[in-house]
Structure 1
Amino acid sequence: MIQNMLLLHLSDIHFRAGQIGTAMDPNGHLRSELLRDAQVQCQRIGRAPDAVLVSGDIAFAGAKAEFEYATDWLKTLCGACGTTLGSVFVIPGNHDVVRSVASKPVVQSLHQSIKAAQPIALNGIISGLLSDEDAKSALYEALGPYNTFAGQFFCDLLPPERTRATRDLYFQDGSILRMTGLNSAFVSSASDTPGSLFVDPASFQLERLPGVEHLVLCHHPYSWLGNGKALSDFLHDVARVHLFGHEHTNRILPARDFVSVAAGAAHPDHEEPNWEPGYNLLELEVEGVGTDRYLTVAVHVRVWQANPGQFIAKQDRGADAFQSRIALSPWIKPENTVVAQPAAAESTQADAAAPEEGADPMDSLRDISVRFFRLTVSQRSAIAGKLNLIEDEDANQPDFERSRRVFLRARERNLVEALDREVSAAGQ
């Protein structure tokens, strides 16, 4: 069981094709310093991150090369901090959208039908479009490269049933921290303005369950969402930790029942006023038992200081971390029972049972998955075919969805070890 949970939180990295990996990369030194600081801070705290959370804008223009570079850099970051690439959990931002696709007339027409909807009809219109084969394909086409990237972490999105990503971590008392990533970029394009974006109705379906505490990631803050007020009211009731990106300014709002963190950008534009790159580390722990339980949250905000150049702690009244203590509902893990799991269509869990040792049963699959996605499409197809993990129904699915189904079938058919051996052999 996790005693003191540690989460590394990044946002707005903006890997930009034409700059990344070149001698003229304006952020090369900054990334190197972030790696160095994150490694030092994890060593100081005394543990590796249990998850590396990226709240959108991984890429700059949604390009395949940008996501490929992101995978390599995140692997280096994870290694420096003592964890694996499989710990990464991502959501999309507006820069992860391919703008040339989002600007197509048919896509813009769909966007306008959502933006023009009256509040009482909004959820019905979004649900209808995300359930229609042609409309959902058009709305999500611009996220194609993102989904290929996110698929290796089982964070890919496919409407209508999988419009949010979900993963569980386990506290020391057996209770769950359920991480849910929302998609606020499916109506994003070059014409984004505050209030013009939306989350879909599934974002309002987090359940308050015994022994489950929610952490939610959404790239866009409430002010950028046309249904932001409704989302704010809902999340304030059900989620203990809220993480946002997009605005490049770090802010922390501690409330009685939740902590909200607006992240700074790992790579803000150098011409932005008050340029302040940063990232966050969050320590979470459940204290007490039964009727006397609390969630303690310590947010370490690391910001770049110039002259001398280094990452330093943003302080709260002289302290190097922002501390919150939130009262939790009474709960004791019942013997021989399980903690409730997410809905099957969205879950990245292996089955309905919580694992005995408090580990996510998809951990081993993610470690295989990140290696599987490093292979060529032909290598992946050959492995899936050899193990009979491809079905006729997969023919019209995007590549990331076919890969997901390969892993789900391998798990269902007790072929995970065989899949691991084939991936390892192909990667040599």
Structure 2
Amino acid sequence: MKAIFVHLSDIHFGQEKNGGDVVVNEDAKQRLIEDAREEVAKLGGKASGVIVTGDIAYSGKEHEYRNAGAWLGELADAIGCERVKVQMVPGNHDMDRDKISVPIECVLAQVREKGDAILDPLLDSDEGCDFLYGRFEAYRDFALDYECELDLNGQMSSGGRLELAEGRSIKFVRLNSALICSRNDAEGTLILGKRQRVLPQEDGVEIIVLVHHPLNWFQDSATARNYLRNRARVLISGHEHFPKLQVDSVEAGRDLLLLAAGATNPDYLAEGYTYKYNILVFEWDEDADALAVTINPRTWDDGLTRFRRDDVFLDGRAERQVLGSPNFHRAPLPAVAPPVDRAVSHEAPEVKPVDIAPAAASQTDSTFAASDSAAQAPAIEQSATLDQRLLQLRFFQELPEGERLKALVNLGAIPGDLKGRLDHSMERRLFRMLIKQGKARAIEALLDLAEAKKRGDTQ
């Protein structure tokens, strides 16, 4: 089976400073949706999800994420995947720079100077985590609705596993490279930290690492590189806005593919520096018993005013890279069907969307996340789980804060005379409580009514 993903990076919602830039950039985003729909359709199936390697917003503000959520929803609908199937990591622009106070600047400077000796004690305390993660409040709330948790005491988070064949899976691991970012960060000064360097290892599972900054931005890149080269099969990054592709042969039978993304919405446009995104296909290569990654790089063509294939990026390389995959070889070979005689059969192979089993409950905040064993649950239970997750996404993206509070009152979650402001995590807990009380249909009806009012259809 093939798993198809649309890969974006540096979308920078809210970047535009004038109405003209808004019009131009919005047009490019709409053309991207059309292009992705057509390219995924050519593959004969639906996409398994969307990957965003950071900088979804430009200033880390709540309204930027509202706009991003609406656009990502359009994209997901166009490529045929669930709206909740978005893997994301934060970038430096997902940090609210207005929340970088003088004390925070001083602490971040100490972390950059002394490394883990300062970072680890901060991450071991609730106060220290609040101190570090407070700059990402709007991003954190947005990411949680996609089950891409941020605040894990400095640890990596897992996006669950995706089975390509029996006993052959890939697993997404998300790193927060922006944890000690400040207003202006120089290359080579950031720190991943010990808790994000040690990647998991499991027979039959190859790791796909998502991170915003490339390795050259870290002080501890040498140590991190050792783990990556020996534990991961693919590293996907953003930030530098210029796409690169490299396959490192670590040793016989072990490769690491490094893909640096171009910017989906760069901060300026110039020759060779324009709107870019990728379509990625992950599959099991039966002949080599290995992970194969096919890259379809897409770039904006000013002359055509649309996206096209970026052959310059491939620079003569094959679009399909078969990677030495030692973790696959440690597990029993899958049972495979007899080979099809392609000289006789002219039917195109069926491409089905591959579903991602959610990460283990210990790695996520969501009530709706299932353990890896949930992949064996009946299809109807899986569908109900996804419906609830989608309902949660709609509740927090489609309703402004005031309307959400009114809804929580009307549904009996909070009293009408409640004083003060509820933070997003408390709203999420109240939402989950309503789901447990069997009020999912009432929430859905409320959301449908709000959507109808926006359209002016209240009959």
Q: Identify the TM-score tier after normalising by the shorter chain.
A: 0.7 to 0.9
**Following the alignment from structure 2 to structure 1, what is the Cα–Cα distance between the partners of residues 258 and 423?**
35
CA displacement at 1:355 relative to structure 2 = 1.2
Q: Which secondary structure does the structure 1 equivalent of 2:23 belong to?
A: coil
Name the residue aligned to 2:212.
Answer: 219
Distance 1:389-1:6 versus aligned 2 partners, 3 A rule: farther
Mapped pair 1:192 → 2:192: no
Aligned pairs for 1:191-340 (under 5 A) are 191-256=184-249, 257-271=255-269, 274-288=272-286, 293-315=289-311, 316=314, 321-327=319-325, 328-332=328-332
Name the residue aligned to 1:109.
Answer: 106
Structure 2: unaligned runs, 5 residues or longer: 250-254, 336-356, 415-419, 450-459
Q: Which secondary structure does the structure 2 equivalent of 1:424 belong to?
A: helix
Distance 1:18-1:319 versus aligned 2 partners, 3 A rule: closer
**Following the alignment from structure 2 to structure 1, what is the Cα–Cα distance between the partners of residues 332 and 404?**
44
CA displacement at 1:306 relative to structure 2 = 2.5
Name the residue aligned to 2:392.
Answer: 369
Query: Contact 1:365–1:416 (CA<8 Å) still a contact in 2?
Result: no
Distance 1:400-1:258 versus aligned 2 partners, 3 A rule: farther
Q: Does 364-373 or 380-389 show the bigger shift?
A: 380-389
Query: Contact 1:153–1:369 (CA<8 Å) still a contact in 2?
Result: no
User: Residue type matched to 1:369 in 2?
Assistant: Q
Query: Contact 1:98–1:143 (CA<8 Å) still a contact in 2?
Result: yes
Deviations 1:54-80 (A, max 9, x none): 100111111111111101111111111
Query: Contact 1:54–1:88 (CA<8 Å) still a contact in 2?
Result: yes
User: Residue type matched to 1:28 in 2?
Assistant: E
Structure 1: unaligned runs, 5 residues or longer: 391-395
Q: Which secondary structure does the structure 1 equivalent of 2:299 belong to?
A: strand
CA displacement at 1:346 relative to structure 2 = 4.2
**Following the alignment from structure 1 to structure 2, what is the Cα–Cα distance between the partners of residues 420 and 252?**
45
Deviations 1:112-149 (A, max 9, x none): 111011xxxx3343221122232221211110111121
Query: Contact 2:140–2:150 (CA<8 Å) still a contact in 1?
Result: yes
Name the residue aligned to 2:452.
Answer: none
Q: Which secondary structure does the structure 1 equivalent of 2:45 belong to?
A: coil
User: Residue type matched to 2:310 in 1?
Assistant: K
Deviations 1:311-366 (A, max 9, x none): 2222346678243333332323899xxx9965713486413514127989564443
Distance 1:138-1:234 versus aligned 2 partners, 3 A rule: same
Q: Which secondary structure does the structure 1 equivalent of 2:284 belong to?
A: strand
Tell which structure's C-alpha radius of gyration is larger: 2
* Aligned equivalent of 1:35, options 33, 40, 60: 33
**Following the alignment from structure 1 to structure 2, what is the Cα–Cα distance between the partners of residues 346 and 4?**
26
Query: Contact 2:12–2:265 (CA<8 Å) still a contact in 1?
Result: yes
Q: Which secondary structure does the structure 2 equivalent of 1:86 belong to?
A: coil
Q: Does 59-68 or 192-201 show the bigger shift?
A: 192-201
**Following the alignment from structure 1 to structure 2, what is the Cα–Cα distance between the partners of residues 132 and 18?**
38
Name the residue aligned to 2:362.
Answer: 344
Q: Root-mean-square deviation (CA), in Å? A: 3.4
Distance 1:345-1:388 versus aligned 2 partners, 3 A rule: farther
CA displacement at 1:98 relative to structure 2 = 0.9
Mapped pair 1:132 → 2:130: no
Query: Contact 2:53–2:211 (CA<8 Å) still a contact in 1?
Result: yes
**Following the alignment from structure 1 to structure 2, what is the Cα–Cα distance between the partners of residues 15 and 310?**
20
Q: Does 238-247 or 228-237 show the bigger shift?
A: 228-237
Name the residue aligned to 1:166.
Answer: 159
CA displacement at 1:181 relative to structure 2 = 1.3
Query: Contact 1:11–1:54 (CA<8 Å) still a contact in 2?
Result: yes
Query: Contact 1:197–1:226 (CA<8 Å) still a contact in 2?
Result: yes
**Following the alignment from structure 1 to structure 2, what is the Cα–Cα distance between the partners of residues 69 and 21?**
16
Report the TM-score, using the length of structure 1 for normalisation: 0.84
**Following the alignment from structure 2 to structure 1, what is the Cα–Cα distance between the partners of residues 169 and 83?**
22
CA displacement at 1:36 relative to structure 2 = 1.4
Name the residue aligned to 1:181.
Answer: 174
Mapped pair 1:399 → 2:399: no
CA displacement at 1:159 relative to structure 2 = 3.7
**Following the alignment from structure 2 to structure 1, what is the Cα–Cα distance between the partners of residues 365 and 228?**
20
Deviations 1:80-99 (A, max 9, x none): 11223211121110111111
Report the TM-score, using the length of structure 2 for normalisation: 0.78
Name the residue aligned to 1:421.
Answer: 441
Query: Contact 1:249–1:265 (CA<8 Å) still a contact in 2?
Result: yes
Query: Contact 2:158–2:171 (CA<8 Å) still a contact in 1?
Result: no
Mapped pair 1:154 → 2:152: no
Deviations 1:380-419 (A, max 9, x none): 56777899989xxxxx998343355457778xxxx56925
Q: Which secondary structure does the structure 2 equivalent of 1:113 belong to?
A: helix
**Following the alignment from structure 2 to structure 1, what is the Cα–Cα distance between the partners of residues 243 and 15?**
26
Q: Which secondary structure does the structure 2 equivalent of 1:226 belong to?
A: coil
Q: Does 418-427 or 105-114 show the bigger shift?
A: 418-427
Distance 1:266-1:331 versus aligned 2 partners, 3 A rule: same
Name the residue aligned to 2:376.
Answer: 356
Query: Contact 1:215–1:239 (CA<8 Å) still a contact in 2?
Result: yes
Deviations 1:244-275 (A, max 9, x none): 00001111112342211000000112255631
Query: Contact 1:296–1:323 (CA<8 Å) still a contact in 2?
Result: yes
Name the residue aligned to 1:393.
Answer: none
**Following the alignment from structure 1 to structure 2, what is the Cα–Cα distance between the partners of residues 231 and 398?**
39
Q: Which secondary structure does the structure 2 equivalent of 1:58 belong to?
A: coil
Q: Does 91-100 or 156-165 show the bigger shift?
A: 156-165
**Following the alignment from structure 1 to structure 2, what is the Cα–Cα distance between the partners of residues 66 and 340?**
27
**Following the alignment from structure 1 to structure 2, what is the Cα–Cα distance between the partners of residues 397 and 207?**
39
Q: Which secondary structure does the structure 1 equivalent of 2:206 belong to?
A: strand
CA displacement at 1:425 relative to structure 2 = 2.2
**Following the alignment from structure 2 to structure 1, what is the Cα–Cα distance between the partners of residues 406 and 121?**
37
Query: Contact 1:383–1:422 (CA<8 Å) still a contact in 2?
Result: no
Query: Contact 2:358–2:370 (CA<8 Å) still a contact in 1?
Result: no
Question: How many residue pairs get matched?
Answer: 408
Q: Which secondary structure does the structure 1 equivalent of 2:131 belong to?
A: helix
Q: Which secondary structure does the structure 2 equivalent of 1:202 belong to?
A: helix
User: Residue type matched to 2:14 in 1?
Assistant: R
